[in-house]
Amino acid sequence: MKFNQFNFHRDISKGVKIAGFKEPSPIQEMAIPIIESGKDLVGQAHTGTGKTAAFGLPMMDKLAKGEIERALVITPTRELATQVADELYHLGRFAGIRTLTVYGGVGYGRQIALIHKGVQIVVATPGRLKDLYRKGKIDVLNPEIVVLDEADEMLDMGFLDEIKEIFEYIPQNRQTLLFSATMPEPIKELANHILYQPEFISVVGDEETTNNVIEQRYYVINENQRDEAIVKLLETEDTNKCIIFCRMKREVDRLAEYLQALGFNASGLHGDLEQQEREVVIKAYRRGEVKIMVATDVAARGLDVKDVTHVFNYHIPFDPQSYVHRIGRTGRAGKSGQAITLVTTEEFRELQRIQKEVGADMHLAILEGGEGLDDSSLEYLADQIRDMPIHSEAGKMLDYLGNIDRELLLEKLVSCFIEKEQQHIGSQIGFDQDTVDSMMQEYGNEKKASKSNHRRRKRR
């Protein structure tokens, strides 16, 4: 099927052509005719499958043809709201369709004013949208089409009550579209509550499951090896863009600064950043100016960036669903990805629980140490030296060194770098299966002994 078979308004078709779209993705081919017909829709699809165009093109086609006047898209995060709004703008700009993002962290005034002026598409986060409706600031916003995007993300972030309240303010004579990567029971209940006789479509087939697209590995390490392991993995893995997930904001800051000090192109992302800082970091990452994103789970919600080759779990996530969301940042749109988790023996049982609950095919790995640097390591080290800024005391140090032969000096200084680098690669990262089994048996015996001692103390 070709896009020109959809019979879009000529200005929408022009946007599609300029964007380089030729053949619709499976979700687009299934969703667009249903949305054009005016029916409610539940679509199950992962991010990266073309969902935004799937609901955006028929929605803007109706706007361009004068069939509707307003549309509302609700997304879980500010980052996703901005991303969706940008894509809708580029696809609908030749039809003069105006798009507005509405989220917290900025003033109400401009958002309210543009809604009252008649902006046609509002892309909003639940918290700010609920506040505006509750305070009676946007009574004029009566959308004929409402899209709930990444519904399962909103559930995980605790927005379900806000979503239900928002739909109390929206007229009943609307077309409602719900998209979600997974369909837990609360999302099914929500769909029954806010949709009318919806069509159901899904493009989550066997070829798109994480087990087939994402290779999942774990390394069992000592607690004090985490930094060493991450550095060694970054140096040895063929990464393009990657995300390193940490549990706490302070871990994000510390690890990002540590990697930057070692010369890695890294930035941190967490909830304490100001909105402007967050946008700068995400735009730099999306453009490839930043290659390594160190982030918390909440900060990465809704983050859709192409060509993420690796996800690293610096710490194991708190629950199985977080693990699924983390590794879902790679292996998108049919591309392969790598998900790598660092665990200690104390965390190993938790990893096994996650593996069982999500049906993940993970395998134990080790990273061998080496006596010397291979060609790729030497090339990496050479890049680090070339990019290193000149210290303010460098000239004074040369004076102290006196008349030493310059070539000999250069070799000595390079030797310092090589020796430092060999400290990182000289030891094995991760324990083999026999060692892990032995450690787990010992750990289990220690726990039994501890429980036994605790019972004895209680009897006394």
Model confidence pLDDT, tens digit, residues 364-380? 888 765 555 556 567 76
pLDDT, mean of residues 61-87: 92
- Running DSSP on this structure, what letter comes out for residue 71? E
Residues 311 and 431 in one domain: yes
Kindly state whether residue 456 falls inside one of the protein's structural domains: no
Torsion of CA 329, 333, 334, 338, to 10 degrees: -20
Residues 275 and 390 in one domain: no
Q: Is residue 457 part of a domain?
A: no
Between residues 271 and 280, the one the model is more confident about: 280
Q: Give the number of residues written for the chain.
A: 460
Predicted confidence band at 211 (pLDDT cuts at 50, 70, 90)? very low
- 28 belongs to a structural domain: yes
Mean pLDDT to the nearest integer, 42-60: 87
Per the model's pLDDT, the better-predicted residue between 383 and 289 turns out to be 289
d(CA 373, CA 360): 34
The residue among 111 and 48 whose pLDDT is bigger is 111
SS3 124: strand
Question: Cα–Cα distance between 270 and 248 in angstroms, integer?
Answer: 9
Bridge partners for 242 per DSSP: 292, 310
Query: If residue 400 lies in a helix (H) or strand (E), which one and from where to where?
Result: helix 394-401
Do 92 and 69 belong together in one domain? yes
155/419 Cα distance (integer angstroms): 50
Question: Is 269 contained in some domain?
Answer: yes
Q: Are residues 21 and 80 in the same domain?
A: yes
| Res. 57: pLDDT tops 70 | yes
In this structure, are 354 and 381 located in the same domain? no
Query: Mean pLDDT over all residues of the chain?
Result: 84
More confident residue, 419 or 103: 103
Token pair for 262: 């070692």
**Domain final residue pick, 153, 176, 204:** 204
In this structure, the answer to whether residues 351 and 280 fall within a common structural domain is yes
Question: What number of other Cβ atoms are within 10 A of residue 352's Cβ?
Answer: 13
User: What is the domain range of residue 125?
Assistant: 3-204
Q: Is residue 459 part of a domain?
A: no
Percentage above 70 pLDDT, the chain: 87
Q: CATH number, domain at 324?
A: 3.40.50.300
Residue 458 lies in a domain: no
363 and 392 together in one domain: no
CA angle, 261 as apex, 234 and 235 as ends, to 5°? 15
Whether 277 and 332 share a structural domain: yes
The last residue of one of the domains, among 204, 229, 247, is 204
Q: Which two tokens stand for residue 227?
A: 């930094």
3-state helix, strand, coil in the chain (%, to 5): 50, 15, 35
Looking at the fold, whether 355 and 398 belong to one and the same domain comes out as no
Considering the domain boundaries, does residue 460 fall inside one?
no
In the predicted structure, residue 206 carries a pLDDT above the cut 50: no
Higher pLDDT, 442 or 145: 145
The pLDDT of residue 430 is 74
Rounded-to-integer distance, Cα 183 and Cα 112, Å:
34
Whether 92 and 158 share a structural domain: yes
What's the mean pLDDT in 75-101?
A: 90
Last residue of a domain, one of 174, 204, 234: 204
The model's pTM is 0.57
Positive or negative: CA dihedral 167, 172, 173, 179? positive
The predicted-structure confidence for 377-393, as pLDDT tens digits, reads as follows 677 678 778 888 888 88
Least confident stretch, 21-30, 232-241, 364-373: 364-373
**Residues 118-172: tens digit of each pLDDT:** 899 999 999 999 999 999 999 889 999 999 998 888 887 788 889 999 999 998 9
Per the structure, the count of domains in the chain is 3
Let me know whether 364 and 350 are in one domain: yes
- 334 shares a domain with 191: no
pLDDT in the model for residue 423: 58
What's the pLDDT score for residue 445?
Answer: 61
Residue 433 belongs to a domain: yes
What mean pLDDT comes out for the span 81-97? 91
**CB-side neighbour CA atoms (13 Å) of 404:** 14
pLDDT at 62 over 50: yes
Identity of the residue numbered 216: Q
Among the residues of 262-319, which ranges form H helices?
275-287
Question: For 342-356, what is each residue's pLDDT tens digit?
Answer: 998 888 888 888 887
Dmax over Cα atoms in the chain, in whole Å?
86
